[in-house]
Amino acid sequence: MFKNEEMEINLGPQHPSTHGVLRVKLRLDGETVTHCRPMIGYLHRGVEKICENQSFFQGQVWTDRMDYCSAVANNLGWAEANEKLLGITVPRRAQYIRTLLNEFNRIASHLIWLGTHAMDIGALTVFLYAFREREDVLDINEAFCGSRLTTTAFRIGGLREDLPPGFEKMVRKFLAKFSDCLEEYEALLTENRIWKKRTIGVARLSAEDAIALGVTGPMLRAAGVAYDIRKAFPYAAYAEMDFEIPTRTEADTYARYQVRMAEMRQSARIIQQCMDGMPEGPVMAKLPKILRSEVNEVYHATESPKGEIGYYLVGEKGSLNPYRFHVRAPGFINLQSLPKMAEGGLIADVVAAIGSLDIVLGEIDR
């Protein structure tokens, strides 16, 4: 008379909290998830193939459109990988400006994460407050490179232009108010009993599992592994910056929240140092008119807000375009850990887990 049956349910591709076109096939026993399988590819545009067929210079616009929430970080990784492939040294001032913009981008990306994650869990207002500050960051992007989201910020060998007039004022204004704003978000979330209940102990991913699954970024640091490429393999001007790597050991959603909030504070600190210690000099290296590569292959990884973004480039002798262009997208690798986090939890925890992953489908599907 009674039948015990598991229900299969599709979370996505169109769903309010899968952050794009992610589809997760869930098998439910009541509300408990017994099986979880993420399915991706709905946003696949063949960025790697396109970049292989375009020159070194043109590839940047496609990196903007991979992880559109952190375009500057993608640009930075792309520029540095190309510079490594071609053997270019970048002037120091350009390095500082790159660092500065990258940290602004980290703040913007984390703010988007904070807003959407809080909204997934039901706190509507944090979303708008987070976007309020993100707006200022986008204005700064616009002032520097002319575009807000798809920045195309850097060039191989440095920058296109120096900082615009009035830039420093904008930055200082932002820094002056930012810590107050962070406190505002924290007043709404950190102590809140419901927020704590929804996040503490939810979607745990231990350090061993995280390393085995290749998870990087705040996800890994929330598990207690202080692995940050900015410190481990310093690039741009990070070797000269004084900052900390925030870590937690709980490895749950709340720990990831705390790590990201602390990272935003550290980013503000780095921006302050960049602004104070900005060296004078050119912003572009001396380059030949046409960039031609030698036979070479490089893998260059940088710390994007989501984790380790790596570019694997193969250069052909005398060629104008990369022979192979591969992106190690942090979201792609991090998303592998979703079944590990979600199975055994409730369906609401799947949403929290997806939120704490901070995925952007543009870079996962590429």
Partner 1 sequence: MNKFLRTLLPADIAKGLSVTGKHFRQVFFTANRRKVPFHIVSEYPEVPAKVQPRFRGRLTMLKDEQGVIKCVCCLACEKICPTQVITIEKGKQEGRKMPYPVRYDFEMERCIFCEFCVESCGFDAIILNHQFELAAYNREDFSLGTEGLGQNMFEPSHVGKFSVADD
Partner 2 sequence: MPTPTLTQSIVITFIQCLMVVIFVFVVVPLTVFAERKVLGHLQQRLGSTRVASGHVGFSGWMNRRMWKMGKVPVVSYWRGIPGLVGDVLKLILKEDVIPAKADKFVFFLAPSISMVAAIVVFAAISFVPGTFFTFPTWFPYLGGLPVSGGISDINVGLLWILGVATVGVYGIVLAGWSSNSKYPLLGGLRSAAQMVSYEVPLTLSLLAPVVLSASLNFSEMATRMAVGMPVWALIPQVIGFLLYLTCGFAETNRLPFDMPEAENELVAGFHTEYSGMKFGLFYLAEYINMTVVSALASAFFLGGPWLLPFGLQGLLNPYLPGFLSWFAAPHAIFFVAKIVFLLFTYIWVRGTIPRYRYDQIMAVGWKYLIPLALVNLLLAAAIRCFVV
Partner 3 sequence: MSEPNVPQTPEAAEVPAGPYVYDYKAAPYRQITMPKTVPLPSYHAYVAEQKAAAEADEAKWQKTLADYETAKAKAEAEGKDAPKPPVRPVPRKDDNDMKPPVPQEATDADLLKLKELLGDKVEEIFEQAGELVCQVKKEAIHEALAFCRDEAALKYEMLADQSATHYPAAKDYACSVVYHLTSISRRKRLRLRILVPEGFAPESACSLYPSANWMEREIYDMLGIRFQNHPDMTRILCPEDWEGYPLRKDYPTVGWGQRDIAFREDRGGMLERIALQKAGQLGINLKQPKAD
Residues interacting with partner 3, by CB under 8 A? 40-41, 44, 46, 48-50, 52-53, 84-90, 157, 211-216, 225, 227, 232-233, 285-288, 291, 293-299, 301, 308, 310, 312, 314-317, 319, 323-324, 326, 328, 332-333, 335-336, 365-366
- Report the distance separating Cα 146 and Cα 54, nearest Å: 23
| Residue 15 partner contact from partner 2, partner 3, partner 1, none using kind-dependent CB cut-offs of 5 to 8 Å | partner 2
Full DSSP string of 43-54? T---HHHHHHTS
Chain centroid to Cα 324, Å, comes to: 23
Is 246:253 a contact under the CB 8 Å cutoff?
A: no
Asked if 187 interacts with partner 1 (CB under 8 A), we say yes
Nearer CB in complex with partner 1: 32/152: 152
Nearer CB in complex with partner 2: 9/232: 9
Is 302:107 a contact under the CB 8 Å cutoff?
A: no
Asked if 53 interacts with partner 1 (CB under 8 A), we say no
Task: Give me the phi and psi of 24, to 5 degrees please.
Answer: -120, 120
Q: Which positions from 100 to 129 touch partner 2 by CB under 8 A, shown as an x/- string?
A: ------------------xxxxxxxx-xxx
Asked if 160 interacts with partner 1 (CB under 8 A), we say yes
CA atoms within 13 A on the CB side of 20: 24
Nearer CB in complex with partner 1: 238/311: 311
Nearer CB in complex with partner 1: 18/141: 141
- Report the distance separating Cα 358 and Cα 260, nearest Å: 11
Omega into 339 within 30° of 0, i.e. cis? no
- Report the distance separating Cα 24 and Cα 14, nearest Å: 10
Nearest Cα residue to 117 out of 364, 360, 363? 360
As given in the structure block, the two tokens for residue 284 are: 């572009």
Asked if 272 interacts with partner 1 (CB under 8 A), we say no
Task: Give me the phi and psi of 206, to 5 degrees please.
Answer: -70, 165
CB of 115 to partner 2, least distance (A): 11
Question: What residue ranges bind partner 2 (CB under 8 A)?
Answer: 7, 9, 15-17, 28, 31, 118-125, 127-129, 132, 188-189, 192, 194-195, 197-198, 346-351
Question: What residue ranges bind partner 1 (CB under 8 A)?
Answer: 54, 57-58, 60-62, 125, 132, 135, 139, 142-147, 150, 152, 160-161, 164, 184, 187-188, 191-193
